[in-house]
Structure formats: C-alpha cells, structure tokens
Amino acid sequence: MGKPTGFLDYPREPIHDRPPEERVRDWKEMHLPIAEQTLREQGGRCMDCGVPFCHTGKLIGGMASGCPVHNFIPEWNDLVWRGNWKEAWIRLAKTNNFPEFTGRVCPAPCEGSCTVAIDLPAVNIKMIEEAIADRAFAEGWVVPNPPAVRTGKRVAIVGSGPAGLAAAAQINRAGHEVVVFERDDRVGGLLMYGIPNMKLDKKMVERRVQLLADEGIKFVTGVEVGKDLPAEKLLADYDAAVLCGGATHARELPVDGRSLAGIHPAMEFLLKNTKSLLDSDFQGPPPISAKGKHVIVIGGGDTGTDCVGTAIRQGARSLTQLEILPRPPEVRAPDNPWPQWPKTYRLDYGQDEAKALWGKDPRVYSVMTKRFIGDEQRNVRELLYVSVEWVKAPDGRFGPREITGTEKVIPADLVLLAMGFLGPEKPLLQQLGVKLDERGNVWTDGTKMTSVPGVFAAGDMSRGQSLVVWAIREGRIAAQSVDRYLSYGETVLPP
C-alpha cells in the first residue's frame, strides 16, 4: 500500500497545530489545515507490510493495540496517496461512524502498532483520518441516508455519548425506530461536555447529531431514565433497549481536607465550562474558574490534560499536575515491545501549552496527595504531597510506598480530581435488575445483551472507562445484536 519506498522517502510530518501561545487565548480548535501534497506523501509512507497490525484492535498488556473499529487503514492510506479522496472516505465510513471525532480525540493505538514504527516514526494515521473526514464534509459527500423501509420495532438508547450514537446510527440503518434519551440539555455525552471545545469543536458534534436526526433518529434531552422516565416504562414502551450511560462514577480522594471549598471532580469542572461557553460565551453565571488561582490537577490521563488546557485558557496563575505513577521512559522499555501501545514520555496539548507559558512540563511524577489545607473560611489554600516508590507486594502486585522525609506543601486555590472512574451510576441498573460484573460494570454476554432479555449495554457502562473508539466499536456490536434479536436471528448490519 502507498508508495513502496514512501516510509524511506518522506519523514513523518509533525502535527499542524496553532502555536501554544496563540491558541491559549481562545477556545477555538487547535488544528491547522494541511496541504494536500503533504497529506498524500504521509499516506505514501504506509508500507505494504503484508500483515498490518494497525487495524487489529486487540488488547495487549491491558491496552489497545491497533484500531478497535478495525479501520481499513492501509486501504485509505493508499487511496490518499493516489489522490482518490472520495474512495478513501467510502472505505473509512464503512467501519467508523464518526471519524471526524476519532481523528481529533483518539490517542491513535493504530500508530503504536504501525509496522513502520518498529524502527521509524509511525505513519500519520490519525492526521490522515481527520483530513479524509473533513474533506468529505467540505465536498458534500456526507448526506443523510434514512432507511428505505421501517420495521415497526422500537428501540431505546440510554445515553448519547459515542457508544449511544453509534448504536443509534446502526440500529436506525436496519429500519428500526430509534429514540435516544439524554439527561443533559445537549446531545453528545462525553463528546459534548467531557471534551473541551478546543480539542473537539462542538459544531462538529451538532452537525453529526443533525445528520442522525435527518435520518430519522429521535433525540430526547433533559430526561434521565430511571428518574424522569421509570425503567419499567422503558421496557414496556420499547422492543429493546441499549444502555450507553458511560462510566460516570468518578474515583474519589478520601484524604484530610477533602470537604474544603475549591476541590472539584474534573468532569464537573469541564462540563460547567463547556456549557457556559456554549450557552453565553461565558457572559452568563460564572462557571468554576481558574482565573488568577494556583491550580492543582490530580491525575495524569486525558481528562487531566483537558483540565490543564481549560485552566490555562481561564487564566490560571500557576498550574501543577500530580501523577502517582513514575515518569515514563523516552523510548519503549524492554517489557513494552511493539505492537503494544508505547508507554513512553510525551507532551499532550495541555502540557505543551503549560511548558510554553511557564517553561516546564507541569507534571510531577511519583507523588501521592496526603492532605488539603484550608483557610479560616474553609477554602482550600495548600496541598501536601509525598514522594512514592513502586514496590512489589507479597502477592506480586506493584504498589506505591511513601518515601520518608519527602513531604512537600504547595499552594492550591483550585484542585481538580481527574483520577479516573469506577464504573456506571447504579440507580437505573438497580431498577432494571441487570447483573453487574466483579468491577461493578454491567455484565453482558458475547452479544452485548445483559441478564435482562432485550436489554443490551455498550461502551464504558459495560466495558469500564476506555477510549471513544472502543465505545463506537461496542455500540456497533450491540446494534448488530439488537437487529438479530428483533429480526429472528437475521441481521443486515455489519459488525
């Protein structure tokens, strides 16, 4: 695929983003357009590698290796190299319902397992995917495609994040009537309120939702199933249901001073800021603000990075990101071989912006928060942390051990907890009586059906906290199973 010697002829092109010093002054998208010839050359770097690992979508060492939706990556890389953009879009759209999202927010496990990446920088797969999707919309190739025939069967989707939207899109294609329930005031779930606007412009989410609505999907916002709509009514009114409510139960930090004002879950901070931006361009009631404050972000994942980027744009006085894990190595460790996801040191957009403003990566590694310290009005003002080392316990598991004498107190006017999620919220699940697995997620069989006949689950609600691309994959699998369930074992949907 691509040019036989392309990976030798062309170096990997850096991501084209606006300079950090410029983009932190607004909430607009970070990416810049890329010349067509450059994109074609990047597509030409794709090798004819015989066994492409980039679209395998396997879990190796607990992390994704290759594309979970099994994108036909070598095919559309080759088509881009040849300048056949419309054909590239057709191949991309066959496996991925929302490449305009994944091309922006996916961490690209496909690139970690790219064969070129054994010895050279990986093919720019994510950049090319985004470019194909953007060109398809610009050229008018993406149009509503409602089903020709309706089956008369009704399906409810609970949650409008990536899993819910993917399931809805696929089930609707099979001709079943689909209603999507969303408890927030806008459709999109994580895509709308969990990811900041500069990382994923909400106009793109709204554009896709409108396309789905034009195809016949009905969206109901401001309704929480299990509260505003009883679970028994859901089961009575619909022939099947798919639970896609996500893993929204955030991990807590039960240390002294947690009840002080100024300490917030990361998603509360991100949601309120995006909502204020969309509602009034920050002209309405002020959201949780980092302006002029010493900000501490606890947690080093994608959500933590989004908190960093958001706090910088609000005008944080200083910013520190605490990470309990050690600093990753510059290159793959011996126990992290290709095609595993490379657990190496890298700067994401938020850390890149912080470094541009303050001269260094804001992350402090191998530390554990011990206590929050407040003032007389019970506002958080300082944070005490201690350095840790990772040691093997008698059961063989590694865990953090405090290093005596390493305590440090730092200023903290706003603390954002971004330590991950423990699973789905339980009230609706208890009403439905679905079985949970040992991690507290919704148990499903191989078809994504729960222990309650006709009720399916997909995405983080059944998988646990994961990637947008895994949610899309699971939504597609659930949709195919719903179609089989409603069509006496037959299905017209691809996996």
Instruction: For domain 154-248+422-486, give the CATH number.
Output: 3.50.50.60
- Superfamily of segment(s) 252-419: FAD/NAD(P)-binding domain (3.50.50.60)
Q: Give the pLDDT mean for 6-21.
A: 96
Q: How would you class 367 by CB atoms within 10 Å of its CB: exposed for 0-12, middle for 13-18, buried for 19 or more?
A: buried
| CA dist list (Å): 84 to 132, 136, 142 | 10, 12, 16
Q: What is the pLDDT of residues 434-462, one digit of tens each?
A: 999 999 999 999 999 999 999 999 999 99
Contacts (Cβ under 8 Å, ≥6 apart) of 302: 107, 348
Cα torsion angle, 53, 59, 64, 70, sign? positive
Q: What is the pLDDT of residues 345-375, one digit of tens each?
A: 999 999 999 999 999 999 999 999 999 999 9
| Two tokens, residue 205 | 């989410």
Residue 154 to residue 133: CA distance in whole angstroms? 31
Q: What is the pLDDT of residues 115-173, one digit of tens each?
A: 999 999 999 999 999 999 999 999 999 999 999 999 999 999 999 999 999 999 999 99
Q: What are the backbone angles phi and psi of residue 307, rounded to the nearest 5°? A: -65, -40
Q: What is the pLDDT of residues 261-282, one digit of tens each?
A: 999 999 999 999 999 999 999 9
Residue 81 to residue 84: CA distance in whole angstroms? 8
Q: What is the pLDDT of residues 477-490, one digit of tens each?
A: 999 999 999 999 99
Q: What is the pLDDT of residues 54-72, one digit of tens each?
A: 999 989 888 889 999 999 9
Residue 181 to residue 25: CA distance in whole angstroms? 35
**C-alpha 18: how far from chain center:** 22
Amino acid 75: pLDDT: 96
Q: Mean pLDDT of all residues in the chain?
A: 96
Amino acid 43: pLDDT: 97
Residue 271 to residue 257: CA distance in whole angstroms? 24
Amino acid 495: pLDDT: 80
Q: How would you class 149 by CB atoms within 10 Å of its CB: exposed for 0-12, middle for 13-18, buried for 19 or more?
A: exposed
Please say whether the beta carbons of 144 and 73 come within 8 A.
Answer: no
Q: What is the pLDDT of residues 73-90, one digit of tens each?
A: 999 999 999 999 999 999
Three-state secondary structure of the chain: CCCCCHHHHCCCCCCCECCHHHHCCCCCCCECCCCHHHHHHHHHCCCCCCCCCCCCCEEECCEEECCCCCCCHHHHHHHHHCCCHHHHHHHHHHHCCCHHHHHHHCCCHHHHCCHHHHCCCCCCHHHHHHHHHHHHHHCCCCCCCCCCCCCCCEEEEECCCHHHHHHHHHHHHCCCEEEEEECCCCCCCHHHHHCCCCCCCHHHHHHHHHHHHHCCCEEEECCCECCCECHHHHHHHCCEEEECCCCCEECCCCCECCCCECEEEHHHHHHHHHHHHHHHCCCCCCCCCCECCEEEEECCCHHHHHHHHHHHHHCECEEEEEECCCCCCCCCCCCCCCCCCCCCCCCCHHHHHHHHHHCCCCEEECEEEEEEEECCCCEEEEEEEEEEEEEECCCCCEEEEECCCCCEEEECCEEEECCCEEECCCHHHHHHCCCECCCCCECCCCCCECCCCCEEECCHHHHCCCCHHHHHHHHHHHHHHHHHHHCCCCCCCCC
Residue 37 to residue 35: CA distance in whole angstroms? 6
- Is it true that domain 6-138 has CATH number 1.10.1060.10? yes
Residues of the chain with CATH 3.50.50.60: 154-248+422-486, 252-419
Q: Residue 307: pLDDT above 90?
A: yes
Residues of the chain with CATH 1.10.1060.10: 6-138
Q: Which residue has the higher pLDDT, 285 or 70?
A: 70
Closest alpha carbon to 88 in 96, 97, 80: 80
Q: What are the backbone angles phi and psi of residue 415, rounded to the nearest 5°? A: -120, 130
**C-alpha 335: how far from chain center:** 26
Of 56-60, 392-396, 466-470, which has the strongest mean pLDDT? 466-470
Q: Give the pLDDT mean for 12-41.
A: 96
Amino acid 1: pLDDT: 61
Residue 444 to residue 451: CA distance in whole angstroms? 7
